[in-house]
Every structure is written in C-alpha cells, then in structure tokens.
Structure 1
Amino acid sequence: MAIGGYNQLSLISLNTQLGNEAYKFQSARAALYAYLSATKIKTLYVPNYICDSIFPALKSLAVEIKFYSINERLLPIDCPKLTKKSDSRILLVNYFGLLNKQIKKLTAVEPELFIVDNSQALFCEHIEGTTSIYSPRKFLGIPDGGFLRTAEKINMPETMYDASENVGHLLLRAAGDVQAGYARFLAAEQALECFIPKKISVISAHLIKCADINAIKEKRRRNYKILYNKFKSLNQLQLPINDHVPLCYPLKLGVNVASICRGLINSAIYLPRYWHSDYSGDVGISMFENTLFLPIDERLTEGNAHALSDIIEQRI
C-alpha cells in the first residue's frame, strides 16, 4: 500500500466480483482471437447479422468464415450440423441480451460445438460445455475488457493493456461534457481494434470492483419494462419481458429510422445503430434500417425512461 503523495479519484471499491472464472482480455475480439488461436479452429459459422469488428481477427488466423441466415426472431433458420470431432465452430449471437432461453435450447445437445457471443449479454450465465465471450465495457463505465469462458486451456499473454490514455471520455461524460468526450470515445474504440490479446487493464479491473452490479441489473430491467409496456403493440420484434438484463430496448418499426435518429440528436438523445455491414442478410439490413435501439442503462431514472418513451412516441 502506497501512503501519501498525489491525490486520486474517490472511487469506493465494493469488491464486486465479475467474471471470476473467465480469462480476462482487453476486448471481446481479443478473447475470440485467443480461443481460436489456441484451439486451431479452421472454420467458423457466423450469422449474417453481426458486427464487422471480428472479421480482421478471423482473417489473420486464416479461419474460414461461413455465413448462416437468421429469421425475424434473430435465431438461426437452419443451424449448421457438425460432429463432435469437428475443427469447426458455430457462433451464436445473444442479440441485445434477449435470447438466453433460445440459445440454451440450441446448445443443449452438443454444447462444445458452440461459441456464444454474449457481448450484448453481460449478465447471461455461461452455458456449461460451450465457449462464451463477454464485453463488460458495453454495460459498465470501463475503458476496456473482454471475458472468455471455455473448458479449453488458454495461455494468457504477459502484457497488460494500457488504458491510461483512454479514460478521458469516461471522465468527461461523468462531468456532463458529452460532446467533448465523444472524440475521445472514438479514439478509445479505435485503440481496441488491435485484437492481439493482452490482459485487461488494471484500470478496468479496479473500476469493475467499484460497480454496483445489483443496482445496474435492477435499473436496466425496470427501464426495459417501461419501454416494453409503452411500445409492445408497435414493435415488430417479439421480445421477452422477464428473466433478462438487456443491453437496450430494440424498437423495430415499419419505416427507415435514419431521420428519426438524426432528429433525436437535437434533443441530446444519442442512439447506436446495429450494424451496417456488407455481410448482412435481409433481416440484418432491416434491423439496421428500421430499428431504434433505445437506452435503458442505470443512468436513466424511472422519470427519464418515461420521458424518453414520450419523446420517441412523438417522433414516430
């Protein structure tokens, strides 16, 4: 313990435990790279609605990419059939953290053949026998982080990710200067494009210990239910209501939402778009073009969530 010297931020450790049994890297794509590199997987079956960020890592390992289609419920239309001794794996995406039960059913027979991408489902339990990947920075105010749960032996890198240059956006956002922080956020994201595995940074590891996980879960569920109840008759997606801690509330409409998103910026409402990709099939294209991905994180009070729902209702 160091005594005296310069001051520090007043961050109170709650000794929060998250991902204790996981290998901890700087990002989810680094975790995927580490797994594929260790297991010498030659072919990966990928849904045709996914973030492009994983493809450079796959190509660098000469992993063959084969796409499969998903239906309107975001599930495989025809899940590839593999054998236990296969050098291939099937990547299942737990979209928005809302497909927990369906993925558990899909992986029940031969779980070792599946990689479950829980990047959008931090609080979804690992399914025994599968390999699962998590991205805690999508749910927590941390600059880096990616968890890997697998039965395979993974040799961890010695180098630790240095996040000291990539925390500015978190501090600026906490201070209320969202616009000033945005450029730094983009720089922090760009820094994580390097998929060569490193250990999670000491900064993120400490910030996780300070996170009130129970409060985060409770508030996300509450805000999701508020939006669910408001828009369930309009939403073209069939969404569950219980037993999930979602990333967001995806509101799929019958119109292109690009102009709505642009208009919301004037009200300081910033919505992500998932995902624009040359590899997307019809469902992926319609999800990107026609869906508003509404925030439900713990920063929204109950009043904020109702106000957001009213604003969205007026816009659509």
Structure 2
Amino acid sequence: MNLARSAVEYILTAGVFSSVYIPKWCCDSLWAPVKRMNTPIHWYNIDEHFMPVNISPCKGDLVIIINFYGLINSKLQDKLAQEYPYLLIDNSQAFFSLPQQAASTVYSARKFFGVPDGAYLYTNYRLSSPLDTDSSYRRFEYLFKRLDLGASEAYEDFKHNEEVLSKDGMKRMSKSTQAVLNGIDYKRVKMQREKNWAFLDKNLKGMNNLKKAMPPGPMCYPFMCENGNDARRFLIGKKIYVPIYWKDALIRLSPTDLEYSYVNDILPLPIDQRYTNEDMRTIVQCLEGYFG
C-alpha cells in the first residue's frame, strides 16, 4: 500500500462494518478515512497496558487497536483476537512485530526507513478491482535534501509532501519505494535498534516512569517523566529531535485521562539504525544533566 491510512480505507471498503471502535489517543490521519466514508465511530480509552477499556462492540463492528510503541506483545494480541472477531491491528509503530493471523494488520515503512511513503497490509479481505500503483519518485527529493542540507532546510518540502499525501487515494506501493525497501538489511536494522534501546534502558530505567519490556526492533525508546513537554523542549534545544504523539488527540481527551499524560509526558527518544552508542550516551548525559 502507499500509506497506512490507505490500508485502513482498504479494510473499510472491502469489509462491511456497522461501526468502528478507535482509541481516542491516535493520529488524525488514522480515522480520516473512517470519517470520509461516514462510518460511525466509537471512541475508547486505553489502560496502562495500552489495552481497550470498557468496550462492547456488536456483531459487525470493527475494532482498531494501535500497537503503541510496539508494546502490545503477541500474547496480548492473541487475547484481543479472541475477544474481537473483526480486528485491525495498527502496527505502524511496530514494524518488526509479526502479523496476527486472526486479524488484519497494518505496517508503516516510512516510520522506520528512509522512504517518503509505503505501507504493508496483511488481511483476508479483498477488493474486487485491483488498485493503481503509486508513483513516488518526486517525493524522494525532500529526503535527499535533508541528507545534503539538514532537516530544517528540508522542512517545508516535508510539509508539502505530507499535504500531497493527505490528498492521495488508495494505491499500491510505488516501484521506487519497493526498490529501496528491498535493499535494506532488516536483520542489521532490528539489531541496532534493539542495541540502542538496551543502552538507554540500562542507563535511564531508574528515571523512566514507563517501564516496559523491549519489543522486537523498537521504533523508539518511550521515556516518561513529569512535565515531559519541558524536557522535550530541553532535548530539542540540544538538537535531539523528540516528537509528540499525538497532540491532535488532546481535543478528544480529558486532562484526567491516562492518555492525556501519555501525550504530554512520553518522550519517544530516537534509537533508529543511524545512531551509535555515542549518540545514545549523549542522550543519557543530556537527561542526567536535566534531571540532575
């Protein structure tokens, strides 16, 4: 698929669902296709294990589960598949987690690798007509610009790319994106991400309010602390980019909701395959200095 949101749209189009259950804590792009197709939405909260709280879907309702930071392990996914016959697991943050056989599963390539688009969908649902193949060679320009000139110089190009993608429909993954992904050493990528997680966890676990076991090939190291946005700004000032997942969800959340603190206080520390032990040591030293 060209995008994870397209994979969601594919499921909604190929299946016949009465309504959809979606976690309040999600990116707006996830539920955009649901809204566009006028499918009724039931918003739900999650608990400290990132599992749904108090939902009772009826027959024909689709339940979407986000595998936050890859922390919903295979045993929990098996439990979910037993509870909900119509299940879609969004593994956009868990590229190296295996697909759940009894559910549809979505993966995002661009959250883990240097591609401007690309997603995978494992499902038993099928559309009657084949999808067109995407064309993405123009979208690679901002990635090359970022490599040559830095992230700040390429930011406007990135925003333009996101705007173009938001208007793109369901398509198959482009040949150029496939070619790049086919050339990746996935074993090395997974190993380096796990090595970086282990380094941060060894040094930061005592300060981390979110103590979780390492998932396979993690997207980031989720570090939770009080007044997380202040710490986030501090790290960004030290040129350590720490995103926020997802600020646009706050409109659906109450300050008393657990997810409200997750949005503001979890710092997704970078651990991807580009980074070395020295980079991880710098992050540790910055946080140790900050909390001093």
| Same fold per superposition (TM over 0.5) | yes
Any conservation in 2 of the 1:220–1:298 contact (CA below 8 Å)?
A: yes
Any conservation in 2 of the 1:29–1:195 contact (CA below 8 Å)?
A: no
In structure 1, which of residues 185, 188, 201 is the aligned counterpart of residue 161 of structure 2?
188
* Partners of 1:76 and 1:272 in 2: CA distance: 24
**Offset of residue 239 of structure 1:** 0.8
**Offset of residue 227 of structure 1:** 1.1
Any conservation in 1 of the 2:81–2:87 contact (CA below 8 Å)?
A: no
Q: Secondary structure at the match of 1:287?
A: helix
In structure 1, the residue matched to 2:238 is 267
- The worse-fitting range, judged by mean Cα deviation, of 278-287 and 123-132 is 278-287
1:215 equivalent to 2:177? Answer no
RMSD, aligned α-carbons: 1.8
* Partners of 1:297 and 1:58 in 2: CA distance: 31
* Partners of 1:47 and 1:114 in 2: CA distance: 13
Provide closer, same or farther for how the CA distance between residues 285 and 102 of structure 1 changes in structure 2, counting only shifts above 3 A: farther
In structure 1, which of residues 246, 254, 262 is the aligned counterpart of residue 226 of structure 2?
254
What is the correspondence of 1:135-284 to structure 2 with a 5 Å cutoff? 135-155=108-128, 157-175=130-148, 177-194=150-167, 196-241=169-214, 243-255=215-227, 257-276=228-247, 277=249, 278-281=251-254, 282-284=257-259
**Offset of residue 76 of structure 1:** 1.7
**Offset of residue 238 of structure 1:** 2.9
* Partners of 1:49 and 1:159 in 2: CA distance: 32
Identify, as 1 or 2, the structure richer in helix: 2
Provide closer, same or farther for how the CA distance between residues 27 and 287 of structure 1 changes in structure 2, counting only shifts above 3 A: same
Any conservation in 2 of the 1:129–1:151 contact (CA below 8 Å)?
A: no
In structure 2, the residue matched to 1:4 is none
Identity, in percent, stands at 27
- Which residue identity lines up with residue 166 of structure 1 in the other structure? R
Provide closer, same or farther for how the CA distance between residues 111 and 123 of structure 1 changes in structure 2, counting only shifts above 3 A: farther
Provide closer, same or farther for how the CA distance between residues 217 and 156 of structure 1 changes in structure 2, counting only shifts above 3 A: farther
* Partners of 2:127 and 2:253 in 1: CA distance: 31
1:78 equivalent to 2:54? Answer yes
Aligned length in residues: 287
In structure 2, which of residues 279, 283, 291 is the aligned counterpart of residue 308 of structure 1?
283
* Partners of 2:62 and 2:183 in 1: CA distance: 36
* Partners of 1:108 and 1:35 in 2: CA distance: 16
Any conservation in 2 of the 1:50–1:280 contact (CA below 8 Å)?
A: no
- Which residue identity lines up with residue 242 of structure 2 in the other structure? L
**Offset of residue 78 of structure 1:** 2.7
Provide closer, same or farther for how the CA distance between residues 301 and 195 of structure 1 changes in structure 2, counting only shifts above 3 A: same
**Offset of residue 203 of structure 1:** 1.4
Any conservation in 2 of the 1:33–1:196 contact (CA below 8 Å)?
A: no
Any conservation in 1 of the 2:25–2:259 contact (CA below 8 Å)?
A: yes
Alignment TM-score, normalising by the size of structure 2:
0.92
Provide closer, same or farther for how the CA distance between residues 304 and 101 of structure 1 changes in structure 2, counting only shifts above 3 A: same
**Offset of residue 245 of structure 1:** 1.7
Q: Secondary structure at the match of 1:233?
A: coil
Gaps of 5+ in 1: 1-24
